């Protein structure tokens, strides 16, 4: 147990050192969520004005989307450093050491989640500046971070599994780019599911992102209940479980 | 203290140390296929504890493949291997705890400083804080890395990176060290230094498996050598015995044309010298096969002086591992390289 903690601690610290040595990454990590937020809130607010958003302002509506999309975008990249380690051979050095293979994966989860939460915090602060009110209070904010973690865990599983399945980071970026866009558009990120055509609504309902966003929106906008909260948590936990089961086999095959 | 280190401390000579212990590495009929390419073809060897064992072979011979199997990174297709008494396939965890692995490719984390790299490695071997600090001090002094320790390794030269790799393979005081081409890409003086460190490690009693395709590296460091080529072991023996097989040292004298009958007396005199094993006379030259030491050349010159034999040129040659290589594989090591 102590050994695992020591391994995970050291490996996680390595990722934080990487982050701090790459100022461009830090900048990007800070700016990217703001970009989402500013772009969507501005472009779509014109479209949305006068339609059926009730008395909810579009920036308020978009806060949950910005939070969830940031978590997805960042978590999808979560496998990249391991893919680099694999390409450079550094992974072999880790694998020749007497450490649990799970510690390597665990360090990625901890790091990715920490960055996700940091980015969520930035978005929430900016949202406050834009006069978005977080009316559900402290409990709502805690649940907001919990939803972010549940969404991030599943997506990170996918990303780590891809890192072991694929051979180069060029391949990785191609596939991730392919996943990312439809995931966003077939979700409640831009418009509520209730306003979608039937076929799109069906697709959106099997998209875990929809549940995360609906859940987050419910925490930000009092009375906004696209889905019951229990269903949202159930769907996200189910998503994490499925991602775990699929990727566990891939990890076992590649990490021995 | 492990029993082996005790023997070292008591100054028990290596030849005795080795017989008293189980081998540090045993490889039995190991084979490895990459798809339908046979990279290792039933190789077997054993490395006694405390020895530097050289795996010598050209590019593609299968050295790195062997070491990767021994470091539990690659599963063999057939055969078995034991490190520090543990089976690499059944007990990889115990093997990993016993070994240090310095791969052929440079393998420090470019974003970390030297110190952070070593710190990470120490934590992966579950050392505590003070032990890691202590070891970083020792190793950086040994490898002359102190000044670079807090620089990011991206800024290191190739030689510094290699030294850091060696240091991180040693941080946890492994029983067995795998060095895959430790002087690849190093300049002459750095390479000599690395050799010196390796010899120092040997004196501390650590077992070293050294992969190399440099003849002189194997000659300078290894106690025993396995020559491998195309995935097969061509021969395994001590350096001395391998060299003895291709003949001893030779002094060749070129004589002036004017040598008269005194030449016969000179030859007889040479044959009487204790270190001379054979004298081969040619028209204007003599090949003297002998056991070389520092007194040999003056004695030959003195004999030549006594018999008034004028010598125009003297050359001295020792047999090289290269000749052994040629004998067992049918080609020279250098020609094969790509
Ligand atoms: N992953 C792999 N897939 C297919 N073939 C491989 C793989 N790794 C090595 N080989 C082949 O196996 C053979 C042995 O390779 P290995 O790396 O063990 O040689 P080596 O003796 O270490 O050579 P070098 O001196 O160049 O390091 C080579 O012919 C190589 O092409
Ligand atoms: Mg090699």
The pLDDT confidence band at residue B1, using thresholds 50, 70 and 90, is very low
> Which of B120, B122, B164, B174 to probe the A interface (max A CBs under 10 A)?
B120
pLDDT at B338: 37
Distance from CA of B120 to the nearest CA of A (A): 6
The more confidently predicted of residues A108 and A58 is: A108
pLDDT at B19: 54
> Is the separation of the CB atoms in B168 and B118 below 8 Å?
yes
pLDDT at A9: 97
Q: Please identify, by atom number, the ligand 1 atom nearest to the C-alpha of residue B104.
A: 27
CA of B137 to the centre of ligand 1 (A): 36
Chain B CB contacts of A89 under 8 Å are 103, 105, 107
CA of A26 to the centre of ligand 1 (A): 39
- Between helix A229-255 and helix A101-129 the angle, nearest 10°, is 140
Residue bearing the CA closest to ligand 1, atom 1:
B34
pLDDT digits (tens, 9 = 90+) for A161-179: 999 999 888 899 888 888 8
How would you classify the pairing of strands B249-255 and B232-238? unpaired
Number of continuous H segments (helices) and E segments (strands) in chain A: 11, 0
The Cα A204–Cα B178 span in angstroms is 54
Mean pLDDT of B222-237: 91
Res A77 pLDDT > 50? yes
Comparing alpha-carbon positions, the chain A residue that sits nearest to B129 is A6
Chain A CB contacts of B119 under 8 Å are 10
Comparing alpha-carbon positions, the chain B residue that sits nearest to A85 is B109
Of A10, A21, A89, the CB nearest to B124: A10
Of B73, B105, B111, the CB nearest to A18: B111
Mean pLDDT of A185-191: 84
Of A88, A95, A99, the CB nearest to B73: A95
In this structure, what DSSP letter does residue B149 have?
Answer: T
Chain B CB contacts of A88 under 8 Å are 105, 107
Comparing alpha-carbon positions, the chain B residue that sits nearest to A256 is B73
Mean pLDDT of B123-147: 93
Do the Cβ atoms of B111 and A6 come within 8 Å? Answer: no
Residue bearing the CA closest to ligand 1, atom 4:
B34
Do the Cβ atoms of B96 and A96 come within 8 Å? Answer: yes
Distance from CA of A10 to the nearest CA of B (A): 6
Using most ligand atoms within 8 A of CB, pick from B59, B66, B76, B102 the residue to mutate for ligand 1: B59
CA of A167 to the centre of ligand 1 (A): 18
Query: What is the SS3 assignment for B32-100?
Result: EEECCEEEEEEEEEEECCCCEEEEECCCCCCHHHHHHHHCCCCCCCEEEEEECCEECCCCHHHHHHHEE
- B42 C-beta closer than 6 A to ligand 1: no
Mean pLDDT of B123-151: 93
E strand residue ranges, B162-248: 176-180, 207-212, 224-229, 232-238
The pLDDT confidence band at residue A129, using thresholds 50, 70 and 90, is confident
Of these ranges, A7-16, A35-44, A213-222, B163-172, the one predicted with the greatest mean pLDDT is A7-16
What stretches of A89-136 show up as alpha helix (H) in DSSP?
90-95, 101-129
> Which of B123, B128, B209 to probe the A interface (max A CBs under 10 A)?
B123
Per the rule left: phi > 0, alpha: psi between -120 and 50, beta: everything else, B94 is: alpha
| Beta-bridge mates of residue B249 | B290
Q: How many domains does chain A have?
A: 1
Res A192 pLDDT > 90? no
- B229 C-beta closer than 6 A to ligand 1: no
Mean pLDDT of B227-248: 84
Res A185 pLDDT > 50? yes
The Cα B194–Cα B166 span in angstroms is 9
Distance from CA of A180 to the nearest CA of B (A): 29
The Cα B252–Cα B30 span in angstroms is 45
Distance from CA of A95 to the nearest CA of B (A): 7
| Residue closest to B56 by CA, chosen among B328, B287, B338 | B328
Do the Cβ atoms of B123 and A7 come within 8 Å? Answer: yes
Residue bearing the CA closest to ligand 1, atom 24:
B59
pLDDT at B14: 59
> Is the separation of the CB atoms in A18 and A77 below 8 Å?
no
Chain B CB contacts of A94 under 8 Å are 124
| Residue closest to B243 by CA, chosen among B232, B251, B235, B253 | B235
- B60 C-beta closer than 6 A to ligand 1: yes
**Is the overall model pTM greater than 0.90, yes or no?**
no
Burial class (CB in 10 A: 0-12, 13-18, 19+), A247: buried
pLDDT at B13: 62
> Is the separation of the CB atoms in B286 and B252 below 8 Å?
yes
The pLDDT confidence band at residue A44, using thresholds 50, 70 and 90, is low
Burial class (CB in 10 A: 0-12, 13-18, 19+), A117: middle
Q: Determine the structural domain holding residue A49 and report its residue range.
A: 2-255
CB within 8 Å of A182: residues ≥ 6 apart: none
The pLDDT confidence band at residue B336, using thresholds 50, 70 and 90, is very low
- B62 C-beta closer than 6 A to ligand 1: yes
Residue A65 has which token pair?
């989307």
Of B103, B123, B152, the CB nearest to A93: B103
């Amino acid at each position: 147990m102590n050994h695992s903690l020591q391994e995970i601690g050291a490996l996680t610290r390595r990722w934080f050192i990487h982050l701090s040595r790459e100022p461009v990454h830090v900048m990007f990590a800070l700016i990217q969520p703001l970009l989402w937020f500013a772009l969507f809130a501005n472009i779509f607010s014109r479209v949305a004005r006068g339609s059926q958003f009730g008395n909810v302002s579009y920036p308020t509506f978009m806060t949950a989307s910005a939070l969830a999309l940031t978590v997805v975008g960042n978590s999808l990249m979560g496998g990249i450093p391991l893919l680099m380690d694999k390409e450079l051979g550094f992974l072999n050095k880790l694998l020749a050491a007497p450490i649990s293979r799970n510690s390597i994966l665990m360090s990625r989860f901890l790091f990715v989640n920490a960055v996700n939460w940091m980015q969520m915090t930035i978005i929430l602060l900016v949202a406050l500046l834009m006069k978005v009110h977080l009316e559900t209070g402290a409990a709502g904010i805690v649940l907001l971070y919990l939803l972010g973690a549940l969404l991030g865990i599943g997506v990170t599983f996918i990303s780590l599994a891809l890192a072991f399945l694929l051979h180069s980071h060029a391949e990785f970026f191609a596939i991730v780019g392919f996943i990312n866009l439809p995931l966003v558009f077939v979700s409640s990120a831009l418009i509520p599911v209730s306003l979608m055509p039937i076929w799109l609504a069906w697709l959106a309902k099997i998209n875990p992102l929809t549940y995360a966003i609906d859940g987050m929106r419910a925490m930000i906008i009092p009375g906004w209940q696209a889905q019951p909260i229990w269903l949202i948590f159930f769907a996200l936990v189910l998503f994490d479980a499925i991602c775990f089961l699929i990727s566990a086999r891939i990890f076992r095959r590649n990490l021995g | 203290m492990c029993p082996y280190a005790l023997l070292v401390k008591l100054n028990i000579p290596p030849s005795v140390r080795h017989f008293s212990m189980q081998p540090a590495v045993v490889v039995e009929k190991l084979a490895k296929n990459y798809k339908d390419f046979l990279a290792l073809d039933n190789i077997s060897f054993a490395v006694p504890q405390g020895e530097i064992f050289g795996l010598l072979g050209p590019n593609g011979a299968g050295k790195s493949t062997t070491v990767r199997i021994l470091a539990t990174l690659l599963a063999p297709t057939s055969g078995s291997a034991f490190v520090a008494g543990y089976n690499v396939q059944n007990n990889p965890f115990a093997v990993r705890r016993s070994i240090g692995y310095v791969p052929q490719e440079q393998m420090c984390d470019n974003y970390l400083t030297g110190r952070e790299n070593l710190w990470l490695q120490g934590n992966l071997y579950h050392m505590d804080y003070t032990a890691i600090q202590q070891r970083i001090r020792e190793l950086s002094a040994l490898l002359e890395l102190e000044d670079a320790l807090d620089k990011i390794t991206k800024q290191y030269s190739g030689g510094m990176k290699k030294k850091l790799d060696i240091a991180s393979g040693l941080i946890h005081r492994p029983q067995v060290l795998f060095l895959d081409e430790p002087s690849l890409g190093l300049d002459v003086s750095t390479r000599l230094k690395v050799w010196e460190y390796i010899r120092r490690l040997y004196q501390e009693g650590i077992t070293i498996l050294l992969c190399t395709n440099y003849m002189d590296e194997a000659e300078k460091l290894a106690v025993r050598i396995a020559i491998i080529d195309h995935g097969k072991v061509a021969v395994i023996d001590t350096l001395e015995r391998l060299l003895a097989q291709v003949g001893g040292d030779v002094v060749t004298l070129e004589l002036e044309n004017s040598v008269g009958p005194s030449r016969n007396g000179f030859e007889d005199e040479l044959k009487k010298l204790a270190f001379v094993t054979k004298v081969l006379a040619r028209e204007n030259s003599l090949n003297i096969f002998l056991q070389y030491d520092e007194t040999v050349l003056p004695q030959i010159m003195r004999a030549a002086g006594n018999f008034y034999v004028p010598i125009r040129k003297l050359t001295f040659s020792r047999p090289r591992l290269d000749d052994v290589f040629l004998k067992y594989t049918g080609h020279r090591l250098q020609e094969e390289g790509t």
